[in-house]
């Protein structure tokens, strides 16, 4: 597919870059900058490559967006009729890979030519409500579907396998640890699961808080798995070596952490819908620091980054916001 065109010319939007003010009294180790994206796109997930180019899913318009932070230029790439993309990550090949919920497929966009390639799920599986994806050490794609499935695609052969989740509906966020282990979170099932990347078997791991609503997961540099608990307002950490948990409550009256991401300094970032803020947790000092959005109902649904940068898509404000830490 080619970029969205108008009158035969590529529709490339150079948009004004807004600097978001840091709350009064805050430390100055984080700078915040917001980039407007075309309105109505509902940026759901975001991923940044090693080259600094940022990709995001414009879920409501069926596009993959490409932002060049150096210029503020945004390009929209159509993913086809009926597209409704959810998750995006940059793969080991440097290309953006997408869980395309509208067409029930895994999609790759060539970063140079913008060509779109699709691997549909088996028709026998029906609509999976695809959510998030990650890569294992062998370059295979693992993905989740909230209808109660998870799966694996080998891009080299096109072979795809889909498994029923052990407790049915709910598989949501998914991530790979530095050791190559794959974990997913089940929002409806209130648990996380470790996936055997060779057999595909999933082992359920119960967090200590009942009905916590485990929504997304991410690993730190030591392979410990961090979980954003949507229902309980907690962030929790599972240590696979000791098989132990620790749990911390986010500040505020009614915290609702949606997404979680661990940066290159092992500090934990969460999007708290209750506070309409990004929240950073330092595991060493066990302290939280909030970065409220200057837009009401920002609704950050996912977080990703690269060394020195944490990116958050504000689906409710049609913006991508970067938190630079160096």
Per the structure block, which two tokens stand in for 261? 């991401």
Say if residue 110 is in the same domain as residue 159.
no
Compute CA distances 291 → 31, 53, 54, whole Å.
Answer: 11, 24, 21
319 falls within a domain: yes
What value does the mean pLDDT of the chain take?
A: 93
Percentage above 70 pLDDT, the chain: 91
Say if residue 62 is in the same domain as residue 115.
yes
Quote the Cα angle for 62-229-279, to 5°: 80
- Per the structure, the complete domain to which residue 85 belongs is given by 46-120
Do residues 268 and 221 make contact, with C-beta atoms less than 8 angstroms apart?
Answer: no
Percentage above 90 pLDDT, the chain: 91
Per the structure block, which two tokens stand in for 193? 């699961």
Looking at residue 1, its pLDDT comes to 43
Q: How far apart are CA 290 and CA 170, in angstroms?
A: 29
Distance from the Cα of residue 38 to its chain's centroid: 20
Looking at residue 25, its pLDDT comes to 36
Looking at residue 5, its pLDDT comes to 34
Q: What is the pTM of this model?
A: 0.92
End-to-end CA distance of the chain: 37
35 falls within a domain: no
Per the structure block, which two tokens stand in for 153? 């695609």
Pick the last residue of a domain from 224, 242, 260.
242
Residue 55 has pLDDT above 60, yes or no: yes
For residue 279, the cross-strand partners are 270, 290
Say if residue 77 is in the same domain as residue 97.
yes
The predicted model gives 163-178 an average pLDDT of 98
Q: What is the pLDDT of residues 122-160, one digit of tens each?
A: 999 999 999 999 999 999 999 999 999 999 999 999 999
Looking at residue 11, its pLDDT comes to 37
Q: How far apart are CA 190 and CA 268, in angstroms?
A: 20
Residue 46 neighbours by CB under 8 Å, 6+ apart: 54, 55, 56, 57, 88, 302, 303, 304, 311, 312, 313, 320
234 falls within a domain: yes
What's the number of domains the chain is made of?
3
Helix (H) or strand (E) segment spanning residue 172: strand 171-176
Q: Of 2 and 27, which is predicted with more confidence?
A: 27
Residue 295 has pLDDT above 80, yes or no: yes
Q: What is the pLDDT of residues 88-129, one digit of tens each?
A: 999 999 999 999 999 999 999 999 999 999 999 999 999 999
Looking at residue 326, its pLDDT comes to 76
95 falls within a domain: yes
16 falls within a domain: no
Per the structure block, which two tokens stand in for 260? 């979680």
Residue 199 has pLDDT above 50, yes or no: yes
Say if residue 186 is in the same domain as residue 269.
no
Residue 18 has pLDDT above 80, yes or no: no
Backbone φ/ψ region at 52: left (φ over 0), alpha (ψ -120 to 50), beta: left
66 falls within a domain: yes
237 falls within a domain: yes
Say if residue 318 is in the same domain as residue 271.
yes
**Confidence tier at 286 by pLDDT (50, 70, 90):** very high
* DSSP at 124: G
For residue 194, the cross-strand partners are 183, 203
We report the CATH number of the domain holding residue 98 as 2.40.10.500
Compute CA distances 119 → 84, 123, 139, 285, whole Å.
Answer: 15, 12, 15, 45
**Confidence tier at 17 by pLDDT (50, 70, 90):** very low
For residue 99, the cross-strand partners are 106
């Amino acid at each position: 597919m080619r970029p969205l065109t108008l009158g035969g010319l590529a529709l490339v939007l150079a948009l004004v870059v807004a600097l978001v003010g840091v709350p009064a009294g805050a430390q100055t180790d984080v700078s915040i900058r917001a980039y407007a994206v075309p309105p109505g796109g509902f940026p759901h997930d975001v991923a940044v490559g090693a080259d600094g180019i940022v990709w995001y899913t414009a879920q409501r318009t069926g596009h993959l967006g490409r932002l060049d932070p150096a210029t503020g230029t945004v390009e929209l790439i159509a993913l086809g009729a009926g597209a409704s993309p959810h998750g995006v990550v940059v793969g080991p090949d440097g290309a953006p890979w997408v869980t395309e919920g509208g067409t029930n497929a895994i999609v790759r966009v060539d970063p140079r030519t913008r060509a779109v390639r699709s691997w549909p799920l088996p028709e026998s599986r029906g609509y999976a409500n695809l959510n998030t994806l990650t890569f294992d050490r062998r370059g295979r794609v693992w993905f989740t579907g909230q209808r109660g499935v998870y799966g694996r695609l080998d891009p080299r052969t096109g072979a795809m396998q889909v498994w029923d989740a052990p407790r049915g509906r709910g598989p949501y966020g998914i991530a790979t640890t530095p050791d190559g282990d794959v974990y997913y979170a089940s929002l409806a099932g209130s648990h996380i699961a470790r996936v055997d990347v060779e057999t595909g078997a999933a082992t359920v791991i119960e967090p200590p808080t009942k009905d916590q609503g485990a929504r997304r997961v991410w690993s730190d540099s030591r392979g410990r798995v961090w979980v954003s608990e949507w229902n309980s307002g907690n962030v929790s950490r599972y240590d696979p070596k000791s098989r132990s948990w620790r749990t911390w409550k986010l500040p505020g009256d009614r915290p609702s952490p949606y997404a979680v991401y661990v940066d290159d300094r092992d500090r934990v970032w969460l999007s708290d819908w209750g506070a309409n803020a990004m929240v950073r947790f330092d595991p060493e000092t066990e302290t939280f620091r909030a970065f409220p959005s200057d837009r009401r109902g920002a609704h950050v649904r996912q977080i990703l980054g690269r060394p020195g940068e944490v990116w958050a898509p504000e689906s409710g404000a049609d913006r991508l916001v970067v938190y630079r830490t160096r």
